[in-house]
Homo-oligomer: A and B are copies of this chain.
Amino acid sequence: MAGMATRTTRRSQRRTEALSRERIVGAAVELLDSAGEGGLTFRALAERLSTGSGAIYWHVANKDELLGAATDAVIAGALPAGPGDPAAGPREEIRAVALGLFVAIEEHPWLATQLSAQMARNPWGPVTPRIFERVGRRVRALDVPEENWFTATSVLVHYVLGAAGQNAANTAGARALGPDADRAAFLDSVAKAWEDLDPEDYPLTRAAADQIRDHDDREQFLAGVDLVLAGVMTLRPAAPPS
């Protein structure tokens, strides 16, 4: 019965430290990062916090609320408050915010699903306004007519979340291929599958297979952001000075 342990993976911060919503959310983020969406379990969480699974319910209503709190905690850290860099123009600021979300999702792949879920079924929660405000303010600075703010911001946010999620999935897919496989190997396997499609039905996808093989992910991502920004600029009332 004597635990022969002292494991190096300290799994209980300190069993005397009181449980709190904050500690629970922190442990949930760690679990999501290390074990993925399927790894977050009340039992695993309780073990990591060296408590009973029922105890968590004293601080958190249910798993949905826990996921929402974890999502908001990470986003709040990734999109800090404040007016950003005043030297950069709004376009550069938008690119920076977009890239910030891209990187956050790369570091926490579970964010992609959760952010979409939060914005979709819980738009009154803290996550949606946080992202909307951050992006929308910069869109306004672009001199877009007021009735177009919402459309422009929606397009930007949906694209950013979708593309960043795609990128994170590519990383995850590469890891799943094997520990030695890298991102290029994964994209290559996708390209091969596309090249095997029926030439009759999928000429364009076959032609695009090559492009997917060697592309820089961030560059591609930012090219998409620039495309949206180019569309946004066409909404401005008058021709801008050069």
Contact = CB atoms under 8 A, between A and B. Distances in A.
B120 A212 contact: no
A159 interface: yes
B155 A124 contact: no
Interface in A147-173: 147-155, 157-159, 161-163, 165-166, 168-169, 172-173
A234 to B, nearest CB: 4
A136 interface: yes
Interface centre among A81, A129, A235 (most CB of B within 10 A): A129
A205 B129 contact: yes
Contact of A133 (B116, B149, B202): B202
Chain copies in the assembly? 2
A55 interface: no
Contacts of A197: 129
A44 B170 CA distance: 33
A137 interface: yes
Mostly helix, strand, loop or mixed at chain A's interface? helix
B165 A120 contact: yes
Interface of A: 81, 112-113, 116-117, 119-121, 123-124, 129, 132-133, 136-137, 140, 147-155, 157-159, 161-163, 165-166, 168-169, 172-173, 189-190, 193-194, 197, 201-205, 208, 211-212, 215, 220, 223-224, 227-232, 234-235
16 contacts: A112-B120, A116-B162, A124-B193, A124-B194, A133-B205, A136-B204, A149-B211, A153-B208, A154-B166, A158-B158, A158-B159, A158-B224, A227-B234, A230-B234, A231-B232, A231-B234
